[in-house]
Amino acid sequence: MTTEKILFMKKLKRIIAAGLCISILAGCQETPKDAIVKEKGTKSVEKYESGEDTAASLRESLGAPEEYKNQETYENGALVIDTDAEVLLPEASTMNTYEVSAKEVNQDMIDTVSKAFFEGAKFYSGHTYSEWTKEQYQEEITRLKKYKAEGNLDPYEHGKDENGQLYFDIDDVIARDEEDMKDAPTEVVKEEVKPSFGLEYLDGKGEEQTKEVDEDGFFGIAETDQGTYDYQISYALAPDIKFQISKIRDDVPDVREFTSWTEGEYLLDGEGTERNKLSEDFIKGKTNISLEEAEKIAKEKVEKLGWGFEVYGWDYTVFYHGEGGAREDNVLDAGYLFHFSRMLDGAPVTYTSSYGGGLEDMDSTLEPWSYERCDIIVGEDGIQTVEIYNPYEIGAVQTEQVKLMDFDSIMKIYEQMMEVSNADIAEFEKKRTYHIRKIALGYTRIYDPTSDNDQGLLVPAWDFFGGFDAESEEYSEKNSGEYSTQSFMTINAIDGTVIDRELGY
């Protein structure tokens, strides 16, 4: 395991621990200090009240400033909460709560997405289309033998196990390629299909080959005038439905190399030895399409869905190959990432980097429901990737002109809960400094997975976006949070309950 992966796992454990702390504290009836964090769940929802009809803006009625600054130090200096944030509110005078449910997953939904992004395309089974030909196997065998001759036995930097053995056994891979090449087709097998669930395919080879059925998924290839795309649909973890589209590229030097599109927020905010950093000028130089043109391409596709999505925000993104993250010498392409969201009565559903739908513990038997999201990357030659997860069906207004807590009350909850949720930070790090750079009011979806895992409520909530600097015995890193879509605290604007973004409630 590489140093980068080890550090990632340690950070992940800390994030999980902090998330559990927030969830436990916010969900209990016993609340800290002055009981500023209230009970969650159905009983709390039933208490939502309508506020007074007013012509004042939300900023005026809630007493929210344009900016908010405050810095507090806790845990004998090990924890610093530095808030220097723009305060963003919808241009509306009131907000409501809305009933929301998972949109019905059926052939009509599949056809809607397929037509929106692939009108006029031909679709093929990915099981046969993606099978390697004899020529492809021979190309890899030649490449691996070249690596070996050069003394490069770990060309993909997989590292060694606890016994010092390479995870990637180059001789074993060459031997398997030579054996598989014997039965490989001489050319790509194109089996035309219609994107749908229930398609049959053959799995395995020879006497061990069996007929299988994709009961709750589709694995296909779409050939269009703009290029060829992987097209996958997954409904295996219902009620979650995932549509994933990715352009197949021919500019990657080695098909076994790791490749990824990475957002600008992870490249422009980071500093320190363990984070990569690219300049905005470098990314712009690699981006051969204007923001306006890229947005037009993305919006034209999304509007065809007819689901009410609008552009919430955008970011730079780069496509790179190889281990160790994006660097100037391994970036192949750049473009723009567009986050789409819904707008309800002038207020957006807030976009964050969290997918939601997590479980409180590994023994949970619940079937969680993740957030709706629609992300599209556009590059010089059009659409590069698409992710559409869990489209909502927006129902009736549950509470009209719902009464919201004033801004000062929300800030008291935020400052206290940031301290509480990081109370054990000194056990892991010498010092952590949070930089909260944006405070935003919008809608978020909450639900009760123990009673109904595909219905919930859209409620007004405050999100606190930023990054953090961390120092420990093993590593040091800095993240200014200027471009961040990570919310470190989400507070229900109606009753002050803390919403765990990873769980979705």
What is residue 67's predicted lDDT score, i.e. its pLDDT? 98
What is residue 451's predicted lDDT score, i.e. its pLDDT? 86
- Give the β-pairing of 79-88 and 431-447: parallel
Across residues 158-169, what is the average pLDDT?
94
pLDDT value at 409 more than 90: yes
Dihedral (CA of 260, 262, 266, 268) sign: positive
Band (365; pLDDT cuts 50, 70, 90): confident
Hey, what amino acid is at 44? S
pLDDT value at 378 more than 60: yes
Can you tell me the distance from the alpha carbon of 159 to that of 175, in angstroms, rounded to the nearest whole number? 20
Quick check: helix, strand or coil at residue 269? coil
What is residue 47's predicted lDDT score, i.e. its pLDDT? 66
Across residues 254-279, what is the average pLDDT?
80
Averaged pLDDT score across all residues of the chain: 89
What is residue 15's predicted lDDT score, i.e. its pLDDT? 36
DSSP for 415-473 reads HHHHHHHTTTGGGT-SEEEEEEEEEEEEEEEEE-TTT-TTEEEEEEEEEEEEEEEEE-S
Q: Round to the nearest angstrom and report the end-to-end CA distance of the chain.
A: 34
pLDDT value at 272 more than 60: no
What is residue 290's predicted lDDT score, i.e. its pLDDT? 97
pLDDT value at 32 more than 80: no
pLDDT value at 374 more than 90: yes
Joined tokens for residue 424: 């054990």
Across residues 18-43, what is the average pLDDT?
39
Residues 6+ apart with CB under 8 A from 305: 112, 113, 116, 388
Can you tell me the distance from the alpha carbon of 418 to that of 413, in angstroms, rounded to the nearest whole number? 8
Can you tell me the distance from the alpha carbon of 297 to that of 386, in angstroms, rounded to the nearest whole number? 12
Higher pLDDT, 50 or 491: 491
pLDDT value at 275 more than 80: no
Joined tokens for residue 352: 């964050």
pLDDT value at 276 more than 80: no
What is residue 46's predicted lDDT score, i.e. its pLDDT? 56
What is residue 78's predicted lDDT score, i.e. its pLDDT? 94
Give residue-wise pLDDT tens across range 326-341: 999 999 999 999 999 9
Cis peptide bond upstream of 90, omega within 30: no
Band (9; pLDDT cuts 50, 70, 90): very low
Higher pLDDT, 4 or 103: 103
CB-based burial, 185-203: b 16+ in 10 Å, e otherwise: eeeeeeeebebebebebee
What is residue 379's predicted lDDT score, i.e. its pLDDT? 96
What is residue 8's predicted lDDT score, i.e. its pLDDT? 34
Residue 368 burial (CB count, 10 A): 19
pLDDT value at 45 more than 70: no
Report the predicted TM-score, pTM, of the whole model to 2 decimal places: 0.88
Across residues 180-200, what is the average pLDDT?
95
Helices (H) and strands (E) in the chain, counts: 11, 21
Band (474; pLDDT cuts 50, 70, 90): confident
Band (271; pLDDT cuts 50, 70, 90): low
Higher pLDDT, 30 or 442: 442
Which of these, 421, 439, 413, 408, lies nearest to 79 by C-alpha position?
Answer: 421
Across residues 212-233, what is the average pLDDT?
97
Higher pLDDT, 326 or 4: 326
What is residue 24's predicted lDDT score, i.e. its pLDDT? 32
Across residues 255-269, what is the average pLDDT?
91
Can you tell me the distance from the alpha carbon of 371 to that of 357, in angstroms, rounded to the nearest whole number? 7
Higher pLDDT, 8 or 207: 207
pLDDT value at 153 more than 80: yes
What is residue 450's predicted lDDT score, i.e. its pLDDT? 87
Band (277; pLDDT cuts 50, 70, 90): confident
